[in-house]
Structure 1
Amino acid sequence: MLTENRLKAAIAEGRLALGLLGSVPSPLLVEMLGHAGYDFVIVDQEHVGVNPETLENMLRAAECSGLTALVRVSSSAPDGILRALDAGAQGVVVPRVRSREEAEAIVRAARYHPVGSRGISGGRTTGFGRIPLAEYLQRANREVLVVAMIEDREAVEAIDSIVSVPGIDLVLEGAIDLSQSYGVPARFDHPEVQQAIRRIAEACRRHRVPFCAIPRLPGQAEAWSRDGAAALLLGDDRGVAFRALKAHVSTVREELSGKQGGAASP
């Protein structure tokens, strides 16, 4: 059932929110993220195949652990936005928004009349009828987050027209795809890419639209916090889990190696 969007509330109150990209299609892992203390998760449907039943269960896991769950849809197509929100997502992250027209279209797809044209349905989002439908429509328009991802040079050039669209609640940078668009694939640290991200953040500041950064270089998390970022996306669950697992087994191997070496010493 749709409840208060804690991420949206944190942004409105000026509290820095910390999140993770959910690339592992596992409700259990989403639940762990909530109890571990993350503020939000972005369930990835752009690069990961998540079936509808698993998606619903991942969103339920977020609800039960106090985690705000957004879904990164595969494109700006209205049907994908509709299905993600009807499954219970508290917001959608739309990749590769390039123009004001595309930004306006995703706002219409994600919201009901009078600001949008999202198809109306009941089901789990209304608590199967616990929230009267008319009340739910108003609540959904208030609580659902619409997030535009900026991942192309074209979008950077049009950034002021994109972020000035009413109903865009948050802007997320996509440095990896930006690097390709700028002709330096995978070089997210390239000066042109970093300058593009700064242009995005500055446009958000001018238009008073919250900005979500992805710290990738040493010191960037602190720098973005000082510069007024509303949220930080701290990588994806696969990377965090892999590094933790690798460190864990390496530590044990080193301990065992040290003990064996000590036993063999005269």
Structure 2
Amino acid sequence: MSARPGTAFRARMRAGELALGSNLRLSRSAEAGPILAACGFHWVMIDFEHSPASPHLAHDIALSAIRAGLLPMARPSGHDPREIAGLLTNGALGLVVPHVDTAAQAEAVARAARFAPRGALSVPGTLAHFGYGTGLAEACAIFNEEVVVTVMIESRTALANVEAIAAVPGVDGLFIGASDLLWDLGLPGRYDAPELQEAVERTGAAAARNGLFAGMGGPRDEGPWRGFLRAGMRMILTENDLSLMMRGARDRRAFFEGALSASAGPA
């Protein structure tokens, strides 16, 4: 277990290793993080863009994930610094910020995610991420080093500006939202489209040139992932909690139906 999951996450990215994560849309238990950690995952995204979750869940799920050595990230519904502050000061140690189309937007969310002098995040009365024996000033300084700011590339505009976005101080990684990007490209659901592979390669190259990591989510079929991994995608959103459960349930159903069919065959 790591009490500094941001440091551990960055080490994986520098080494070119995979960092596997899941999107929590329907999970409500603080045990979600430890369960994923036991499965060899490295980060979890608490989703407030496409989820019915209430903000207090960020505290319980995120702090439990930290104790299990998993990096808890939050996807806010937008760029509002008040929402970002509420998520980060109540347990999250990273952001996956949707629909970042310009360098100015990237700069704003990066500043919203860190305390002064590196940003404009409001200082809370306490910061529980690193335990309750750490003074507030020290905890805020540690937080500034640990927090991971990832911005999502999900539109033609973002692709056109990807180099400028990647050059923004305080941005740690670029993350392709493949589903929204394909819709914006007029190719809904076409995860095998050459245009998506080109976008992935362009984003991966921009990240590498600026010392950032790159990642993505969206495809459920395994085929396209090989090309995306070759293009440098390392922060991988594997699936959301619902699809992971459904995949496991379908696998078990297929096994038992097959086993029964085999046992009913000729002796």
TM-score normalised to the size of structure 1? 0.89
Once the two structures are overlaid, the 10-residue window that deviates more, 206-215 or 30-39, is 206-215
**Is the counterpart of residue 53 in structure 1 residue 61 in structure 2?**
no
What is residue 189 of structure 1 aligned with on the other side? 192
Contact 1:25 1:54 in 2 (8 A): no
Separation in 1, partners of 2:256, 2:155: 44
Contact 1:73 1:81 in 2 (8 A): yes
Separation in 2, partners of 1:127, 1:138: 11
How many corresponding residue pairs?
Answer: 262
What is residue 231 of structure 1 aligned with on the other side? 235
Corresponding letter in the other structure for 1:53 = H
The 1:133/1:123 distance shift into structure 2, 3 A limit, reads: closer
The 1:261/1:62 distance shift into structure 2, 3 A limit, reads: same
Contact 1:92 1:145 in 2 (8 A): yes
1:251 shift after superposition = 1.2
Separation in 1, partners of 2:173, 2:64: 23
Show CA shifts across 1:220-263 (max 9, x none): 5454444443422222222122111111022112222333444x
1:55 shift after superposition = 2.5
**Is the counterpart of residue 257 in structure 1 residue 261 in structure 2?**
yes
Separation in 2, partners of 1:261, 1:119: 68
Residue 69 of structure 1 aligns to a residue in which SS?
strand
Once the two structures are overlaid, the 10-residue window that deviates more, 222-231 or 174-183, is 222-231
Separation in 1, partners of 2:157, 2:128: 36
Separation in 1, partners of 2:137, 2:160: 40
Separation in 1, partners of 2:26, 2:238: 15
Contact 2:130 2:139 in 1 (8 A): no
What is residue 105 of structure 2 aligned with on the other side? 102
Contact 2:153 2:174 in 1 (8 A): yes
1:111 shift after superposition = 0.7
Separation in 1, partners of 2:196, 2:162: 15
Contact 1:25 1:55 in 2 (8 A): no
Contact 1:93 1:146 in 2 (8 A): yes
The 1:246/1:35 distance shift into structure 2, 3 A limit, reads: same
Equivalent of 1:199, from 182, 198, 202? Answer: 202
Contact 1:94 1:147 in 2 (8 A): yes
The 1:135/1:201 distance shift into structure 2, 3 A limit, reads: same
Separation in 1, partners of 2:114, 2:172: 12
> CA RMSD, aligned part only?
2.2
Show CA shifts across 1:147-182 (max 9, x none): 100001111001111110001001110111011111
The 1:235/1:21 distance shift into structure 2, 3 A limit, reads: same
The 1:236/1:186 distance shift into structure 2, 3 A limit, reads: same
Could you tell me the percent identity over the aligned residues?
Answer: 30
1:133 shift after superposition = 1.7
**Is the counterpart of residue 12 in structure 1 residue 26 in structure 2?**
no
**Is the counterpart of residue 65 in structure 1 residue 68 in structure 2?**
yes
The 1:244/1:188 distance shift into structure 2, 3 A limit, reads: same
Once the two structures are overlaid, the 10-residue window that deviates more, 222-231 or 132-141, is 222-231
Contact 1:126 1:133 in 2 (8 A): no
**Larger radius of gyration, structure 1 or 2?**
1
Residue ranges of structure 1 left out of the alignment (5+ in a row): none
